[in-house]
Amino acid sequence: MTVPPLVSLTARRIGASLITLFFVSLAVFGIAQLMEGDVAEAILGQSATPEALAGLRAAMHLDQPAWARYLDWAGGVLVGDPGRSLITGLPVWEMIAARLGNSLTLAGLTALVSVPLALLLGIVAAVKRGTAFDRAISIATIGVVSVPEFLIATLAVMLFAVTLRWLPALSSTRDVHSMWDLLRVFALPVFSLACFVMAQMVRMTRAAVIDALDTSYAEAARLKGCSPARVVLRHALPNAVGPIANAIALSLSTLLGGVIVVEIIFNYPGVARLMVDAVATRDLPLVQTVAIIFCIAYLLLVTTADVVAILANPRLRHR
Amino acid sequence: MTAPLARIEHLRITATGDDGREIVIVPDATLSVAPGEVLALIGESGSGKTTIALSLMGYARPGCHIAGGEIEVAGIRLDGADADTLRGLRGRTVAYVAQSAAAAFNPSLTIMAQVIEPALIHGTLDRAAAEEKAKALFRRLALPDPDGVGARYPHQVSGGQLQRLMAAMALITDPKLVIFDEPTTALDVTTQIEVLKAFKDAVRDLGTTAVYVTHDLSVVAQIADRIAVLRGGEVQELGPTDQILFAPRHDYSRALVAAAAPRAPAVAPALVDDRPLLELWGVVAGYGGTNHDGTPRTRILDGIDVSIRRGQVLGVIGESGCGKSTLARVAAGLHPPTAGRILLDGRPLSPIVRRRSRDELRRVQMVFQSADTALNPAVRVGAAIARPLAFYHGLDRRSARAEVARLLDLVRLPAALAGRLPGELSGGQKQRVNLARALAARPDLLLCDEVTSALDPVVAEAVLDLLIELRRELGLAYMFITHDLEIVRAISDDVLVLYAGRVAERVTRDGLGHGAHHPYTRLLTASVPELRPGWLEETPARDAGAAGGARMRAQGCSFQPRCPMAIDACAAEMPPMLIEDDRRVFCHRSVEMLTPA
Amino acid sequence: GFEPAKPEPAGGRLRVAVAVSSTADTMDPARQTVVTDFCRCAMVYDGLTRLDAQFRPEPALAEAIETADARDWSIRLRKGVRFHDGSPLTVADVVYSLRRHLDPGVGSKARVFAEQFASVVADGPDRVRVVLKSPNADLPTILGIQQFQIIRDGTREFHRPIGTGPMRMIEFAPGVRSIAARFDDYWRGPVRLGEVELFAIPDDSARINALLSGDVDLIHAINPRMARHLTGAGFELLETKSSGYTNLIVRVDRAPGNNPDFVAGMKLLLDRETMRTAIFRGYATIGNDQPIAPTNPYYDPSVPQRPFDPERARFHFRRAGLIGAQVPIVTSTAADKSDDMAVLIQDAGRRAGIDFDIRRVPSDGYWTNSWMKVPLGFGNTNPRPTADISFTQFFASDAAWNESGWRNARFDRLLVEARGETDEARRKSLYGEMQHLVHDHAGVGIPLFLSLLDAHSPRVKGLRPMPQGGLMGFDFAAHVWLEGA
Amino acid sequence: MRGLGPSGRIGLVLVALWLAVALVGPAIAPHGVGEVVDLDVFGGISRAFPLGTDYLGRDMLSRLLVGARYTVFVAFVATAIAAATGILLGLAAAAGGWIDVLLSRAFDIVIAIPSLMFALVVIAATGASIPVLIGTLAVIYTPGAFRTARSLAMGVMALDFVAAARARGERLPYIVVREVLPNVTGPLAADFGLRFVFVVLLLSGLSFLGLGVQPPQADLGALVRENIAGLGFGAAAVLFPAVAIASLTIGMNLLIDSLPGRRRR
Ligand SMILES: Nc1ncnc2c1ncn2[C@@H]1O[C@H](COP(=O)(O)OP(=O)(O)OP(=O)(O)O)[C@@H](O)[C@H]1O
Ligand SMILES: Nc1ncnc2c1ncn2[C@@H]1O[C@H](COP(=O)(O)OP(=O)(O)OP(=O)(O)O)[C@@H](O)[C@H]1O
Ligand SMILES: [Mg+2]
Ligand SMILES: [Mg+2]
């Protein structure tokens, strides 16, 4: 097996990603400048008199020109130190690190639950396409995403935490001491998130598997006497990996930044809320750094999906 | 006569059209196969050969279904059989070698995994034994590197080899019945001969019963015991090979056989003039990007000079993968060469399609090799043909419709086909739609890439007649790419023989039959099957070494490894050009050596 | 419910959920802004005085505060008070704590009050002398404002806060949670609670569900609409009648509010009764377009109650020539329930011939971008300890937060006079007249004084309402205990 | 209609129903959207108020009838714009070259900008109105449509019939629209259906921020959101708008899934 094409391709992708990141940092910084208000106004709130504002701004070095602040921040990010939060004065990285861990845990567990389930549902729907079962899965997945996630999450809490008292209403990683705790603490948020991310994966899996099942080699496999399960798992699936991986990557990329409702309802300290807080208080070093982290996560997932697609395709793997 | 191994009685197969209409594909077919015999299904393209062959596995393609009749194989009734019965039968009792092996192999599994799969599913062998048996079959089917080929992926193996690998897959369970669906249609003659040989030996040695689908009578003559002639889904005539080939009774059978007889060469029209229409000089082209010095990473064409005059037909032959289609794509501007010049009417023609004027584009039209993919599956036939009319000639919708009908008629297709989507056509029908679309542009030069490969002799003849007529009437010139030497002989004025991306020889049609030739040209001509049972056993070409996978060599003659006359210089130096009045041969040996005794 | 595996400390562990918390959470007393800040600071720090249920100052870290002229004040510190790290309270700490409010870089919320200080100096080992720029009899009350809590001399970092309060912070993660444990050396003697865990659940339903499921014991800021749900399930409500309000603001210094008829009409459009029942489910007291609540000793009952009267409003609008006009009205969730109030005003406006165009704007940035800048909008004010502070901050002509841009020379004179007045009866009549002036002329409509609603499990004992704010004026930790802990 | 099959017909009926509500809803609403008609809040189903009353005591039926048009039209138009731009650019990018590089990077950047920040900036820059709301929704969802269209079209672009069109001299717009697009409509339509659901949900979030639909009007998602307090009592005011959203989006997807030409899938 020759590796070089893969390596060079991956390297090229990483290079492109770095350039993208640079532009993202510019764009995020630019947008942040366009936002009305600044951190001094946010701190003072109702009591923001002009002289109080001017004093606080000077104390926080906000009176420097924008490009100087950008260079300061971007330079810091490059050497791994994105500076200090304007609000708390803590190192930005310290504030993010703890919450990023939490978010990754939640996202990871959700992926662990939703990806296999979505694959299963998508595959079964593809195999039984056109049947009542297929339609039921399609209606159910659309129905579930179409219910606002705060409603799903709240209903789940009311049922499992308030009425049945099986699970906690809040998810605090601090209270996790055993595997059992972990299951209990994460059951509801993971459930709510899974409802949200599964639809896209189920639909894409179904479509990709159907495509693969329509090919001559799938027909040939049937004519060899393969059982339907074997046709799907051994013949169709490996060829559908590319689009499926792409859909999974896109769905999962929403898990870090797009889960604000779930973090709020379960009082889960993750990066999404950190981001919203930071935007609300115009804590720009924090906002920008979190945005860059989201972007890195996104690029990482998408690139991984591309590489997986290449690995799954011997035509690309062996040139 | 012993009880048949397989029989079909009053079979009726229908399809559901896109609008819900029912289309009858096979109205009423009856035939049977005796144990140990090879039955050939022949007939025009779209006559239901594939459909009937598949019904022997109890299978109907998506959109089609078996609507009536009886099917019995090895004592088991297949019509209405449940899924388990069918699954137990497919790949075990009946095995199938698909029309296009390249598409039937799963691109992401190794060849060995796919070849031994039937044995594993049906539990006839364990993995180790199956692999052993597969290797034995590879050897028997004369595949190169029988021990290593299994570890490769399908795209790493040539088309002819895949066809044989597919046969190995079919034979691994020792099935009672094997169905070959046009296994050699897409292959060049040198590869075809090998595949045929391999099949025939395998069938004979293993005592297998076979159904062999084809439209090529010469092939049938080599392999079949009995022949069923199909038309419109019905069996027109069923009889022993000799009888059908030499004493056909049915009108249609007679037409078929007549069409397969060697054609009288077409007479060159007066319109041919000496001005070159299209010229390519020193073309170098390849794939996979370019190196720093501007040469292609993988060089496919090297130093090709071609010129076609007005009204001239240039036949291009050579084995699969030698770069014929690439040459056509270069001429069409679809694949810019890394070196070389293209001239039209003596004026430079941009190598890039985008830079060519609309009129230049109109004058050079291309008929793509794979009819399947060259038609947009979402565009109806009528609209596809009407587009060049509107695009080049600004025809309005109404006059375009009449013109479409005329063009369809020219290529012997019913006007009603205009409303169909490509997915609802058979392979040969698609090929003719492609031709009609190219003709709609009213070009000066047609680049025909295998336009008759999927056609039965009757229709192929009609299409060739059409091309000759157009040439006579309009002075149309052709670059005619084919692997059918019979056709080349019949239609071309000049013949260009390519080997591994270089010109091996250029010769006039009349010069083809005699005089000095490149050893590869000789191998080619010897490989053309004749309509004569027993030819396969006698032809000297059957022992001419492994075909396929010919590589362009950086230095020396690429044909050297296969060449019976190779000398030391062949490996080291580029062959010089030997010029005779009607031919140019690139070879190290002398003209005398190259002239057969 | 969910039981943590960790053993409870003696005195029990109280879990409290409030509504707002973010990375902006602070333990700097000068910057405290939201409920979590107030609660945490109340646990960890003490002020020189503290305010009782009538907003009267009582001594805390100051043993006595003396003055002769309401201008030159002498504060005697309590002896034997220790910080959480064991160091004793000194005058230097107090001087530092008071002076830093004047540094703009601190971003103090109490800077407006601190600006009265002409000087703050040590005066012997246990006395601090504060001289004001002008006399103010309310200084002891002002020193009871939470922002004036005392920290150690020189403190600049507040991640590991040190105070003299009843609890010491053992974990402080802004926007996540805080945990405080009983301080055994507290100068008043140790409190009963063992530990307090405080965090925010921003979502109303989620907060209530957490209480219902037993994940927390005490929650702040109940949506009045959900109160019934809680009492039905056996939980207890703590209603705190406060003098905080959400008010309609009509800028009188620009159109259309520069026409007094428009202002008069707007105030008549406030359907106080429906607001009370529909929006606040009865947890509110009818207001009368002036900021002094009936619980305040200076409240003047002679100000006539303004009715809901769209017909008369129509009359005023016609006089202003605004019938059929489309008037934008800006709301935001930042001003609590202003959305709903605007909807009711809009509905009433239809009867009075004005078409209100509601513009809902984002809550972040509301206070700097929209508040006091739009012609018609809303404000939201927490309870203020004194009438003087209310009037000085919101209604004086030169007040920073003169929400409606109202200028009244007589009012300004009365304000200064009342501030220095020591005769209670006279002071009361001065404040009465000011209430009349605001009611009649200012561009502010105060429909209701809002009650604050907290809820707790029956296990939590010792809670009683304090008008400074919910959760016993944020000071619950020093007073409550858990039954059976 | 006959070609749709039973589930397609159900979808069509649901979509038609909501379209009708969107068109005539305001005309047949029994009460004003902002009118407080019931002194009690979260009233149950009654003769006077068939869908109960909301958190302020307003008639839920009227609010639903009037609010539906926002969800139906705003979400639909926004999705359509997002899909149209995303698909056209995605198809153009599939042709490769610098256009692809440029567009792909540009959309990666758009994806990376947090939508909250983006919405705040938009409000600050342009003020709030329905067109701005539609534009914002469209911008947020265009990159997704772009990626999907691009990846689907890349496969088609490599096929011979596209080469045939190029050899004919067709320009990129023709190739993209007439040759490639018809071959990817199925998956793109399915993607559209899903994207519509996401837009419906995001819509309520943005109008809550103040970016468009203003009180007393509310789109269906906002109706759920503002009445969430009633969930504890199982209030009709939460239930009905949620059911409304589900029926609209499910109907839309059933219809899309059974459009002619996709049945074979
Ligand atoms: N799904 C379908 N819908 C409508 N007609 C179809 C469908 N599939 C096949 N047909 C028609 O059925 C006929 C028989 O097709 P079949 O593939 O069996 O032909 P064939 O004899 O194998 O032709 P060829 O030599 O070109 O491969 C053709 O006329 C074709 O147009
Ligand atoms: N897009 C491509 N990328 C890389 N290699 C290619 C590509 N297209 C063709 N090739 C290779 O170029 C060589 C010449 O291909 P070409 O299609 O010109 O052959 P051909 O002579 O037309 O063969 P056939 O008779 O099988 O059609 C083959 O080895 C083929 O594998
Ligand atoms: Mg066929
Ligand atoms: Mg070719």
Q: Is the pLDDT of residue A1 over 50?
A: no
Kindly state the tokens that stand for B196.
């045929």
Cα separations in angstroms, A58 against A82, A85, A281: 20, 16, 17
d(CA D124, CA D127): 6
Least Cα distance to B183 among B223, B153, B144 occurs for: B223
User: Residue A319: is its pLDDT beyond 50?
Assistant: no
Residues within a 6 A CB radius of ligand 2: B 188, 287-288, 300, 320-326, 369
Confidence band, pLDDT 50/70/90 cuts, at residue B331? very high
- Residue whose Cα lies nearest atom 27 of ligand 1: it is B427
The ligand whose atoms approach the alpha carbon of B323 most closely is 2
Separation of alpha carbons A23 and D104, rounded Å: 12
The CA distance from C241 to B509, in Å, is: 110
C-alpha B109 to ligand 4 mean position (Å)? 25
User: How far, in Å, CA of B76 to CA of D77, rounded?
Assistant: 59
Find the range with the poorest average confidence among B292-301, C236-245, C354-363, C449-458: B292-301
> Residue C3 pLDDT more than 50?
no
Closest ligand to Cα B61: 1
Terminal C-alpha separation, chain D: 19
Probe residue for ligand 2, chosen from B189, B192, B287 as the CB with the greatest number of ligand atoms within 8 Å: B287
Q: Which two tokens stand for residue B150?
A: 């299994």
Contact present, D79 and D196 (Cβ < 8 Å): yes
**Closest of B430, B343, B447, B423 to residue D168, by C-alpha:** B447
* pLDDT for A2: 41
Residue D44, CA distances (Å) to C54, C254, D25, D49 in order: 42, 45, 21, 8
- Ligand nearest the Cα of residue B285 is 2
**Range list of β-strands (E), B321-396:** 339-344, 347-348, 364-367
Cα–Cα distance for residue pair C270/C276, rounded to 1 Å: 11
Amino acid at C338: S
Taking residues B78-106, report their average pLDDT: 87
pLDDT band, very low/low/confident/very high, at A48 (cuts 50, 70, 90): low
Which pair of tokens denotes residue A309? Answer: 């697609």
| Longest CA–CA separation in chain D, Å | 74
How far apart are the C-alpha atoms of A245 and D159, rounded to whole Å?
A: 23
Among C396, C367, C385, C394, CA closest to C242: C385
Identify the residue among A22, A128, A129, A146 best suited for mutation to test binding to D, counting D beta carbons within 10 A and taking the highest.
Answer: A146
Write a three-state SS string for chain C: CCCCCCCCCCCCEEEEEECCCCCCCCCCHHHCCCHHHHHHHHHHCCCCEEECCCCCEEECCEEEEEECCCCEEEEEECCCCECCCCCECCHHHHHHHHHHHHCHHHCCCCHHHHCCEEEEEECCCCEEEEEECCCCCCHHHHHCCHHHCCCCCCCCCCCCCCCCCCEEEEEEECCCEEEEEECCCCCCCCCCCCEEEEEECCCHHHHHHHHHCCCCCEECCCCHHHHHHHHHCCCEEEEEECCCEEEEEECCCCCCCCCHHHHHHHHHCCCHHHHHHHHCCCCEEECCCCCCCCCCCCCCCCCCCCCCCHHHHHHHHHHCCCCCCEEEEEECCCCCCHHHHHHHHHHHHHHHCCEEEEEECCCCCHHHHCCCCCCEEEEEECCCCCHHHHHHHHCCCCCCCCCCCCCCHHHHHHHHHHHHCCCHHHHHHHHHHHHHHHHHHCCEECCEEEEEEEEECCCEECCCCECCEHHHHCCHHHCCEECCC
8 A C-beta contact, residue B31 and residue B8: yes
Mean of pLDDT values over A226-245: 88
Q: What is the pLDDT of residue C2?
A: 42
**Predicted local confidence at residue C320, as pLDDT:** 93
Give the separation between CA B588 and CA B563, rounded to whole angstroms.
Answer: 12
Give yes or no for a contact between A283 and A39, defined as CB atoms under 8 angstroms apart. Answer: yes
Query: If you average pLDDT over residues B432-444, what whole number do you get?
Result: 92
What's the whole-number mean pLDDT along residues A144-170? 86
Do A217 and B89 count as a contact with CB atoms less than 8 A apart? no
Rounded to the nearest angstrom, the gap between the alpha carbon of residue D100 and the centroid of all alpha carbons in its chain is 27
Q: In the 8-state DSSP scheme, what is residue B306?
A: E
Report how far apart the first and last C-alpha atoms of chain C are (Å, whole number).
17
- pLDDT for A274: 85
C-alpha D239/C-alpha B126 separation (Å) is 60
> Quick check: B39 and B58 in contact, CB under 8 A?
no
% of chain A surpassing 90 pLDDT: 9
**Selection from A150, A232, A243, A256 nearest residue A203 by Cα:** A243
- What's the average model confidence in pLDDT over C287-304? 93
- D194 Ramachandran zone, left/alpha/beta (phi>0; psi -120 to 50): alpha
B400/chain A closest Cα distance in angstroms? 35
- On chain B, the residues whose CB falls within 8 A of the CB of D168 are 361, 387-388, 391, 441
Quick check: helix, strand or coil at residue B73?
strand
Using 50, 70 and 90 to split pLDDT, how confident is the model at C301?
very high
CA D66 to chain centre: 17
pLDDT at position B269: 58
Locate the chain A residue with the closest alpha carbon to B116: A224
Least confident of B342-351, B491-500, B535-544, B545-554: B545-554
Say if residue D17's pLDDT is above 90: yes
Residue A3 binned pLDDT confidence (cut-offs 50, 70, 90): very low
Cα–Cα distance measured from residue B286 to residue C50, given in angstroms and rounded to the nearest whole number: 88
Residue that the structure tokens 């993607």 belong to:
D191
Handedness of CA D214, D220, D223, D224 (dihedral sign): negative
**Cβ of B427 less than 6 Å from ligand 1:** yes
Partners of C51 in beta bridges: C57
Instruction: Give the pLDDT of residue B325.
Output: 87
Q: With a cut of 90, say whether residue C307 has pLDDT above it.
A: yes
What residues contact C323, with CB distance under 8 A and at least 6 apart?
C314, C317, C353, C354
Which of chain C's residues have a Cβ under 8 Å away from the Cβ of A265?
203, 205-206
For B102, the token pair is 């390249």
Residue B217 CA: distances (Å) to CA of B482, C173, C181: 18, 86, 98
Instruction: List the residue whose alpha carbon is closest to atom 2 of ligand 1.
Output: B424
Q: In the predicted model, is pLDDT for residue A318 greater than 60?
A: no
CB nearest D229 (choices: C225, C274, C339):
C225
**Interior angle at CA D179, CA D174 and CA D185, nearest 5:** 115
Q: Identify whether the C-beta of residue C174 lies closer than 8 Å to the C-beta of residue C57.
A: no
Angle, nearest 10°, between helix axes A179-213 and D181-209?
A: 150
Whether C7 has a pLDDT exceeding 70, the answer reads no
State whether the beta carbon of B160 lies less than 6 angstroms from ligand 1.
Answer: no
pTM, two decimal places: 0.81
What CA–CA distance (Å, rounded) separates B471 from B462? 14
Tally of CB atoms within 10 A around D263: 16
Please answer yes or no on whether A51 and C104 come within 8 Å at the CB atom: yes
- Dihedral, CA atoms, C294, C300, C302, C307, nearest 10 degrees? -50
pLDDT, average across residues B299-303: 88
CA-wise closest residue to C140 among C32, C66, C57, C223: C57
Burial of B2 (0-12, 13-18, 19+ CB in 10 A): exposed
Phi, psi (rounded to 5 degrees) for D131? -60, -40
Q: Report strand pairing: C448-456 vs C218-219.
A: antiparallel
**Residue nearest atom 2 in ligand 2 by C-alpha distance:** B287
Please state, in angstroms and rounded to a whole number, the distance separating the CA atoms of residues D149 and D155.
10
For residues D260 and D3, is the Cβ–Cβ distance under 8 A? Answer: yes
Whether residues D264 and B63 touch (CB distance < 8 A) is answered with: yes
Q: Could you tell me if B55 and B11 are in contact, meaning their C-beta atoms sit under 8 angstroms apart?
A: yes
CA distance A31 to D222: 27
pLDDT of residue B132: 93
Percent of chain B exceeding pLDDT 70 equals: 94
Chain A: nearest CA to C238, how far in angstroms?
Answer: 21
C362 to D41: CB separation less than 8 angstroms, yes or no: no
At position B202, the amino acid (one-letter code) is: A
> Does any CB of chain C come closer than 8 Å to the CB of residue D114?
no
* DSSP symbol at B25: E
Are A216 and B118 in contact (CB < 8 Å)?
no
How high does pLDDT run on average in chain B?
A: 85
Contact between D229 and C223 using a beta-carbon 8 Å cutoff: yes
